[in-house]
Homo-oligomer: A and B are copies of this chain.
Amino acid sequence: MTTGDARRGEETVSLVAAIRDSIVRGDFVPNQRLVEADLSAQFSASRASVRAALLELTNEGLVERVQNRGARVRAVSLDEAVEICEVRMVVEGLCAAKAAERITAKEIKELKEIGKSMRKAVSNGDVLGYSQLNQQLHRRVREIGEQQTATQVLDRLRAQSVRHQFRLAMHPGRPSTSLPEHLAIIDAICQHDAEAAERAARTHLRSVIAALREVDQASTPVLAR
């Protein structure tokens, strides 16, 4: 069966989603070549559509293309993942600060609700649920901050580092480290304290960066030779 089907119009857009999912979920491993003809057959679409989709994914940073040499799944090194997180650090800091300025009473309740759910998930050992709440929190903060541009930037960066992100979420003990950081962000935003919110967001991402390095060292002990 072909991985993803879609409604009639705009086949390319669904192809982009299908290929993106295949990359994110690991069906296509890093550095794997993506031959247009093969994808065309696999997803039963024309080569032009595949080509357009590859173009799009290249600009999202998930695929690398070299002139006349084709496309392959981009492998994000640890150093690159750190760089990405550093940019995320400052941009999420901006969003948190803006959110602190603009948040409404209703949204405060919502954010605190998320915080409560996160506490519960961690104490229950619900790693998957916590990960989803994590994403929800970050998304809501961006929405509250009303930063369209920042949101676009962050979406792109998140997609690029999703593999590292996932590995991190599965690391034992990680949730109990990040929970208080998340709660600090929520508190600062709910108190309309922009500076504190930015600091908290940065502290959190700094911790993520440190954890990234740690997890990588643990899983790549010396050098797989």
Contacts and interface: CB of A to CB of B under 8 A. Distances in A.
Interface of A: 9-10, 13, 48, 51-52, 55-56, 59-61, 67-68, 80, 83-84, 86-87, 89-91, 93-94, 98, 147-150, 152-153, 157
Given A9-B67, A48-B48, A56-B55, A87 B91 contact: yes
A126 to B, nearest CB: 32
B10 A147 contact: no
Nearest to A93: B90
Contacts of A86: 94, 98, 147, 149-150
A120 to B, nearest CB: 33
A177 to B, nearest CB: 23
Contact of A9 (B68, B89, B157): B68
A94 to B, nearest CB: 5
Contact of A90 (B10, B67, B94, B157): B94
Q: For A59, A83, A90, A147, which residue has the most chain B Cβ atoms within 10 angstroms?
A: A90
Contacts of A61: 152
A142 to B, nearest CB: 12
Contact of A147 (B52, B83, B150): B83
A149 B87 contact: yes
A67 B51 CA distance: 17
B153 A149 contact: no
A9 B84 CA distance: 32
Nearest to A10: B67
Contacts of A80: 148-149
A60 B213 CA distance: 31
Nearest to A84: B149
B87 A147 contact: yes
A150 to B, nearest CB: 5
Nearest to A148: B83
5 contacts: A13-B67, A83-B148, A83-B150, A87-B91, A87-B94
